[in-house]
């Protein structure tokens, strides 16, 4: 089977650190020991909403894909288990070769590992989300002064994380923008300690529901 190009869809009350990080001066990446010093996944205290592809192989639990989805037919992706999922009678999903999939906004609870559905899903084609205010660091007037070498290094180090899944990361406007499943601000604070403030911008694929 060939694998076509990837299409990016989009795409614990306290943080337990796997190691100690030494605060770095702004603009200095410092040293991050491979395999150490990583945060643990964060559980959401309340309910959250995510937008992505729900995919289920015959006989297996459904997965909530919040990151990359391969444009094959049927598509291929991976994500956390979606507990309590039942395919709705809405005609908005497909099945082929033992795979069933559809794109939905799903609300429920997130324990840091699995997502439990608590509300009926809404097809993305019919979903009208409340859009958050844009991050001011996306404005060219607020560009970061971090070097390209630093941003590339930070992105490489984030992609090597094994405990927290970094769904996407890319340098833009002088910062590294990184999307994780969920952050209550703890991962952002951790990265500010490691790399200095205004180097990494952490975004959550799962947003608090209802939004504040």
What confidence tier does 65 reach under pLDDT thresholds 50, 70, 90?
very high
Whether residue 22 has pLDDT greater than 70: no
210: preceding bond cis by omega (within 30 degrees): yes
> How far apart are alpha carbons 209 and 48 in whole angstroms?
4
Helices (H) and strands (E) in the chain, counts: 2, 13
pLDDT 10s digits, 26-41: 334 343 433 346 899 9
pLDDT 10s digits, 124-180: 999 998 888 899 999 999 999 999 999 999 999 999 999 999 999 999 999 999 999
What confidence tier does 206 reach under pLDDT thresholds 50, 70, 90?
very high
* H-type alpha helices, 75-195: 148-159, 186-195
> How far apart are alpha carbons 121 and 119 in whole angstroms?
6
Query: 115: closest CA among 93, 84, 86, 76?
Result: 84
> How far apart are alpha carbons 195 and 67 in whole angstroms?
25
> How far apart are alpha carbons 143 and 141 in whole angstroms?
6
> How far apart are alpha carbons 192 and 95 in whole angstroms?
44
> How far apart are alpha carbons 181 and 203 in whole angstroms?
8
Name the average pLDDT for the chain.
85
Query: 128: buried, middle or exposed (CB in 10 Å: 19+, 13-18, 0-12)?
Result: exposed
Report the pLDDT averaged over residues 191-209: 96
Structure tokens at 158: 């984030």
Query: 163: closest CA among 53, 34, 22?
Result: 34
User: Which residues in 186-198 are b (16+ Cβ under 10 Å) and which e?
Assistant: bbbebbbbbbbeb
Share of the chain above pLDDT 70, in %: 82
């Amino acid at each position: 089977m060939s694998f076509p190009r990837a299409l990016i869809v989009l795409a614990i009350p306290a943080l337990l650190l796997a190691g100690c990080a030494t605060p770095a001066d702004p603009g200095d990446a410092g040293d991050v020991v491979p395999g150490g010093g990583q945060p643990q996944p964060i559980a959401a205290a309340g309910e959250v909403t995510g937008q992505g592809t729900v995919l289920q192989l015959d006989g297996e639990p459904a997965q909530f894909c919040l990151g990359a989805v391969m444009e094959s037919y049927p598509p291929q992706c991976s994500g956390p288990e979606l507990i309590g999922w039942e395919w709705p009678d809405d005609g908005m999903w497909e099945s082929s070769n033992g795979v069933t999939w559809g794109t939905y906004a799903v609300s429920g609870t997130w324990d840091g590992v699995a997502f439990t559905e608590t509300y009926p899903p809404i097809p993305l084609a019919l979903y009208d989300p409340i859009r958050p205010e844009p991050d001011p660091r996306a404005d060219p007037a607020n560009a970061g002064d971090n070097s390209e070498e630093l941003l590339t290094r930070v992105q490489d180090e984030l992609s090597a994380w094994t405990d927290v899944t970094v769904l996407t990361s890319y340098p833009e406007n002088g910062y590294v923008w990184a999307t994780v499943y969920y952050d209550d601000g703890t991962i952002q604070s951790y990265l500010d300690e490691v790399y200095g403030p205004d180097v990494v911008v952490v975004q959550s694929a799962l947003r608090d529901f209802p939004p504040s």
